[in-house]
Chain A
């Protein structure tokens, strides 16, 4: 378990992380969300022992990051933002260096490097120097480095940033594959990623926690949660739709020639909308019930905090 308690980091002019407290349990994949500059990276840098907190602390499986930094660092695999590596080393040389620093020697070391290389598919570039690799491969080297010692805690700072859709998919699959029996923390501002891989999402803004829940719970905070979108050939009666029990309003989407009927929080309006369609005999081409829009929830949460 990771216990973060009252973690605070103040720099000269501003407070990057402000009294942050939450816990992450084994088996969870935590999506750490927030706009740029919200304090995601600073929090991760404190969890990995790179920065010392101004006050408060965090415990990594019981090891305090302030007083037992080395013990905590042994348990963590960390991919820093931008996946920095030693560019003049070969992939093999670099991974062997990491394995040695992690205390593996001889056959054990070779085994570890081999496994990590296979997991992120680096076989083809083993002999190349890292600076000659493409962005996707560099990121994978960073991931290989982080998972090499099969860590209990995996902290990844924007693991898919700058990758193409195929590579993103690959990295997400890898993370899902690794996640069992581990604690994974991923920072990202790509919201689809949260729905795709995370079991829980924590949103921070200005260094403070503004939301904490499963991606589904977050989606249900959206005003589009349970909203019904209709695409029709002919004209629709907006007033009748808005007057349905449980409906909160109607939005017209000019570009798609569709209407979205919003639901009041806690209400389900799909049956009523359906009944109205049948009653009026409208020709409907498409009918969608929305789960909620994460990006809209994200904007509401983080903008409200900034104001």
Chain B
């Protein structure tokens, strides 16, 4: 465990060593503003809450989060530095988790920089700030789930663009698994399977957290999803590292 912070620190710093971090944060802030005020009708609703802000996060993350996850392993394999990393005295757990946490904290930083939204809504009215905090937590967990998927896809593909496309596709399946377009495909299946597939949906889970309802099952859902995808990442890294 002792080397995890070292890996974490290097990875986080590497985001800021290139323009990637700044471009990402800028686009994230601009888009989340556009979605909130134009598509979400923040003013027209006349309600002091951030529902229009959070309700678009799932779709925003679908394209932005794979962009920060795609380099995690693909870049290491492309440049060959994975051979250096994996022959240093660190465990696979430390490498996989350290990289993931760095990306997750980076996503958290981007998310925190949307604080003017909170100030705005507090200036205009009297929102329930508890709900807002819960929604931020939910949004961060959602980003973590997207990142864990992206991390695994990045380990799978040597090419960053392919890693990106794979991550978007798999993430999309997780978003829409509660919608009729997926559930209809399971028309033949027993009800328990349909329910199981529907319960995987990011939309449903995130929706309830962003309304301020923190259900332990929802937290557990996101955390176990992250753990499962990271475990898959570790396996894939081992299988693919030498190719």
A→B interface (CB under 8 Å): 45, 48-51, 70, 73-74, 76, 78, 80-82, 84-89, 93, 97-98, 100-103, 129, 145
- Is there an interface contact between B80 and A82, defined as CB atoms closer than 8 Å? yes
Enumerate chain B residues within 8 angstroms of A49, measured Cβ to Cβ: 86-87
- Is there an interface contact between B81 and A86, defined as CB atoms closer than 8 Å? yes
Minimum C-beta distance from A17 to chain B (A): 13
Q: Shortest 10 CB-CB distances between A and B: which pairs?
A: A84-B80, A73-B89, A80-B83, A48-B87, A100-B6, A84-B81, A88-B17, A74-B89, A101-B88, A78-B87
Q: Closest residue of chain B to A70, judged by CB? A: B89
**Interchain CA distance A50-B86 in the complex, whole Å:** 6
Q: 1/0 per residue B79-102: CB within 8 Å of A?
A: 111011011111100000000000
Size class of the B contact interface (CB-based, 8 Å): 20 to 34
Enumerate chain B residues within 8 angstroms of A87, measured Cβ to Cβ: 79
Minimum C-beta distance from A82 to chain B (A): 6
**Interchain CA distance A103-B3 in the complex, whole Å:** 8
- Is there an interface contact between A101 and B84, defined as CB atoms closer than 8 Å? no
- Is there an interface contact between B6 and A97, defined as CB atoms closer than 8 Å? yes
- Is there an interface contact between B83 and A101, defined as CB atoms closer than 8 Å? no
Chain B interface, DSSP helix/strand/loop, else mixed: helix
Q: At the interface, yes or no: B224 with Cβ under 8 Å from chain A?
A: no
**Interchain CA distance A48-B81 in the complex, whole Å:** 14
Further pairs besides A50-B241, A81-B80: 10, Cβ < 8 Å: A45-B242, A73-B89, A80-B87, A86-B79, A89-B14, A93-B13, A101-B7, A101-B90, A102-B88, A129-B17
Minimum C-beta distance from A7 to chain B (A): 16
Would you give 20 A-B contacts (Cβ < 8 Å), ordered by A?
A45-B83, A49-B87, A50-B86, A50-B87, A50-B241, A73-B88, A74-B89, A78-B84, A78-B87, A81-B80, A82-B80, A84-B79, A84-B80, A84-B84, A85-B84, A89-B14, A100-B6, A101-B6, A101-B90, A145-B84
Query: Which of B17, B89, B90, B242 is close to A89, meaning CB atoms less than 8 Å apart?
Result: B17
Interface-central residue, A78, A84, A102, A103, by most chain B CB under 10 Å: A84
Q: Closest residue of chain A to B20, judged by CB? A: A88
**Interchain CA distance A85-B89 in the complex, whole Å:** 16
**Interchain CA distance A84-B79 in the complex, whole Å:** 7
Q: Closest residue of chain A to B17, judged by CB? A: A88
- Is there an interface contact between A51 and B84, defined as CB atoms closer than 8 Å? no
Given A50-B83, A50-B242, A80-B84, A88:B14 Cβ within 8 A: yes
